[in-house]
A and B are shown apart, each in its own frame.
Chain A
Amino acid sequence: MSKDLSYKAVMARKNEIMIKSVGIDYSEFEQGPLAFDYEEMMKKAGYPLEQVAAIQAETGVGNTPLLELRNITELARKISPAGYGARIFTKDEASNPSGSFKARRAALSVYQAQKLGYKGVICASSGNYGAAVASQAAMRNLNCIVVQEAFDSRGFGQPEIIEKGRACEAYGAEVVQLTVGPEIFYVALSLLEETGYFNASLYTPFGISGIETLGSEIAVQCRDRSGRDPDMVVVTHAGGGNVTGTARGLRKAGCACTEVVGASVDLSGLHMASDKDFNRKSFTTGHTGFGVPFATWPDRADVPRNAARPLRYLDRYVTVTQGEVFYVTEALAQMEGLERGPAGNTSLAAAIALAQELPSDHVIVVQETEYTGAGKHPMPQLTFARENGVIVRRGDPRDNKPGVEIVIPEHPTQIRAREFPLENLRRSYIKNALQTCGKASLDAREVEFLIEETSAPRAFVQQVLRDNGVTFPV
């Protein structure tokens, strides 16, 4: 009996393939067409913090240094009002085995795969997560397949993605490279079915619990170094896992007053599934092309219920431009002696602007760095941008046009963290939730769920429901 391998047939078997390849029955946590018990899912299908740390220690993941960026702090103070300019620290996640915080997620996924007796793991990632899974799989002696969206239809690939493919192969993984398109998930599903391997999805409860140690380590190290909880933690935001896991870890470590700020590179106007736009962007992650859709509808992920739910945890969301991130990547190398990958410095760009809002005795933590190397570096990335017709020039990043112009600031005063109103994201989330469940009337528990999901005031949620013509008990 041979299975129908067509796009439609494989996508129709999605849920069946997922249950077999993730080992979680999500229906256990469902509470009707809209709500589900998120905390119960995290508790039952994830791991407690101490166990996560122990699993990660087995493969040398975590316990990365917290570095104080003294010269960058001083620079921010030079352009701040008197008495302002918070101390800036960075969590040097590049020190993880595969060179990024993604090793924390992968450590848990691959541990789970080994524990459940799978022979191999599969993940769909064009970025650091692929390399992290490949590295962890090598340590646990499992086979690994990484599926990448790598090329446009001309066969041109961004240097950063080609580098990630090379890294995966260096760790012994098979790399399946595809042209642009969301059908990457169809290919991943087909491979899961063909091989019977474990789905090392980015969005499982154990994957997300893997990031909680990042938040708890920040709390402990920050107290040790500065005698206080971090006043602000800036997190590069894409699929939402980084925000969710870090914020949960901070809370578990008792940081009740720390403001969690998400930061993404502004790529507005570029279509993420467009063959032509694909190579006109210089960032492959940490951008609004993931950050906005995953915040407003987390369950678009490859698992039925995404464990990454950023709106529950974001206190603020800001955007920066590609030019600003390249500029601060240069600053980090030249002023702090730390050569790190650009995408990981998204939150650093935002932090330099945000530090100027805080008094100088406050502490702001940039929550990650990532490795750098051939392809993953301002030089090859900007060289590639130029080859693809993008203009690179000095100027005011206000004039930045994603896919058209990359404007490198002329002065640090031109680095700005642009506010992205959370209200807009919350409103879109509620709209998407209503559309998906198709209900015109909600019960009390469903309203509570929306309040928890958006961490919005009750009156706000009620108003959005009224605006959408939905009734609810008052």
Chain B
Amino acid sequence: MKAKTGDWVQIRSTVLEAGERAPQVPPDTQAVPLEMRLKGFAVTGASPGEEIVIKTLAGRVARGTLVDVNPGYPHGFGKPVPELLSVGPELRRILCGEEGSK
């Protein structure tokens, strides 16, 4: 989706290239770049993958590659966990003395 000026967008940029990471990081982290994602209001227009300038909520101006327009939040409540569903009733049975407790 193309971003136009004023859209709420997410950008990405590379902070440190692979191999240029802090000396103390383990090999698997050393092998990948340190990347940054940032959101803000588009100051210029762009298509995904193109460079874009944004203004952040703190009022900073930043530049990076356009990732998403009006980015959502992927997290939620997930699925019920079968291993936990029976915990409440089990504990209640112990509390009510219906099950050997020791």
Q: How far is the CB of A130 from chain B (nearest CB, A)?
A: 13
Pair count A-B, CB < 8 A:
162
Q: B37 near A: Cβ within 8 Å?
A: yes
CB interface residues, B 50-91, toward A, < 8 Å: 56-60, 73-81, 83-84, 87-88, 90-91
**Contact between B83 and A183 (Cβ–Cβ < 8 Å)?**
no
**Contact between A153 and B32 (Cβ–Cβ < 8 Å)?**
yes
Q: A234 near B: Cβ within 8 Å?
A: no
**Contact between A143 and B83 (Cβ–Cβ < 8 Å)?**
no
Measured in the bound complex, the distance between the Cα atoms of B26 and A159 in whole Å is 24
**Contact between B92 and A335 (Cβ–Cβ < 8 Å)?**
yes
Identify which of B25, B59, B77, B94 contacts A181 (C-beta below 8 A).
B25
Identify which of B60, B80, B92, B94 contacts A174 (C-beta below 8 A).
B60
Q: Using an 8 Å CB-CB cutoff, how does the interface string of A224-235 with B read, 1 for contact, 0 for none?
A: 000000000000
Contacts of A393 in B (CB 8 A): 83
Binding site for A on B (CB under 8 A): 15-16, 20-22, 24-26, 28-29, 31-40, 56-60, 73-81, 83-84, 87-88, 90-92, 94-95, 97, 101-102
Measured in the bound complex, the distance between the Cα atoms of B84 and A374 in whole Å is 17
Measured in the bound complex, the distance between the Cα atoms of B35 and A160 in whole Å is 20
**Contact between B22 and A162 (Cβ–Cβ < 8 Å)?**
no
Q: Using an 8 Å CB-CB cutoff, how does the interface string of A153-168 with B read, 1 for contact, 0 for none?
A: 1000001001100100
Binding site for B on A (CB under 8 A): 7, 71, 74-75, 78-79, 120, 143-145, 150-151, 153, 159, 162-163, 166, 169, 172-183, 186-187, 194-195, 271, 273-276, 326-327, 330-331, 333-335, 374-375, 377-384, 392-394, 408, 411-413
Identify which of A78, A143, A186, A383 contacts B58 (C-beta below 8 A).
A143
Contacts of A374 in B (CB 8 A): 73, 75-77
**Contact between B22 and A182 (Cβ–Cβ < 8 Å)?**
yes
Contacts of A75 in B (CB 8 A): 91, 94-95
Contacts of A273 in B (CB 8 A): 24-26, 29
**Contact between B95 and A335 (Cβ–Cβ < 8 Å)?**
yes
**Contact between B78 and A78 (Cβ–Cβ < 8 Å)?**
no
Measured in the bound complex, the distance between the Cα atoms of B60 and A163 in whole Å is 23
Measured in the bound complex, the distance between the Cα atoms of B94 and A7 in whole Å is 57
**Contact between B57 and A169 (Cβ–Cβ < 8 Å)?**
yes
Identify which of B24, B79, B83, B102 contacts A182 (C-beta below 8 A).
B24
Identify which of A169, A179, A380 contacts B77 (C-beta below 8 A).
A380
Identify which of B32, B37, B39 contacts A169 (C-beta below 8 A).
B39
**Contact between A195 and B95 (Cβ–Cβ < 8 Å)?**
no
**Contact between A382 and B74 (Cβ–Cβ < 8 Å)?**
no
Q: How far is the CB of A78 from chain B (nearest CB, A)?
A: 4
Measured in the bound complex, the distance between the Cα atoms of B87 and A331 in whole Å is 7
Contacts of B16 in A (CB 8 A): 7, 183, 186
**Contact between B37 and A177 (Cβ–Cβ < 8 Å)?**
yes
Contacts of B94 in A (CB 8 A): 75, 78-79, 411-412
**Contact between B75 and A144 (Cβ–Cβ < 8 Å)?**
no
Identify which of B57, B76, B81, B95 contacts A375 (C-beta below 8 A).
B76
Given A7-B20, A187-B15, CB of A79 within 8 Å of CB of B58? no
Measured in the bound complex, the distance between the Cα atoms of B87 and A150 in whole Å is 31
Measured in the bound complex, the distance between the Cα atoms of B83 and A408 in whole Å is 7
**Contact between A175 and B15 (Cβ–Cβ < 8 Å)?**
no
Contacts of A412 in B (CB 8 A): 91, 94
Measured in the bound complex, the distance between the Cα atoms of B31 and A331 in whole Å is 42
Measured in the bound complex, the distance between the Cα atoms of B56 and A194 in whole Å is 14
Q: How far is the CB of A342 from chain B (nearest CB, A)?
A: 11
Contacts of B87 in A (CB 8 A): 327, 330-331, 334, 408
Measured in the bound complex, the distance between the Cα atoms of B92 and A143 in whole Å is 48
**Contact between B75 and A334 (Cβ–Cβ < 8 Å)?**
no
**Nearest B residue to A149, CB-CB:** B34
Interface CB pairs A-B, < 8 A, 14:
A75-B95, A79-B102, A120-B58, A162-B73, A163-B73, A181-B25, A182-B24, A183-B25, A374-B75, A379-B81, A379-B84, A392-B83, A408-B84, A411-B90
Contacts of A379 in B (CB 8 A): 77-81, 84
Given A7-B16, A412-B91, CB of A186 within 8 Å of CB of B76? no
Measured in the bound complex, the distance between the Cα atoms of B90 and A258 in whole Å is 33
**Contact between B26 and A177 (Cβ–Cβ < 8 Å)?**
no
**Contact between A178 and B84 (Cβ–Cβ < 8 Å)?**
no
User: Interface centre among B29, B38, B80, by most A CB within 10 Å?
Assistant: B29
Contacts of A159 in B (CB 8 A): 75-76, 78
**Contact between B57 and A174 (Cβ–Cβ < 8 Å)?**
yes
Q: How far is the CB of B64 from chain A (nearest CB, A)?
A: 11
Identify which of A173, A176, A326 contacts B38 (C-beta below 8 A).
A176
Contacts of B76 in A (CB 8 A): 159, 374-375, 380
Measured in the bound complex, the distance between the Cα atoms of B57 and A274 in whole Å is 30
Contacts of A150 in B (CB 8 A): 37
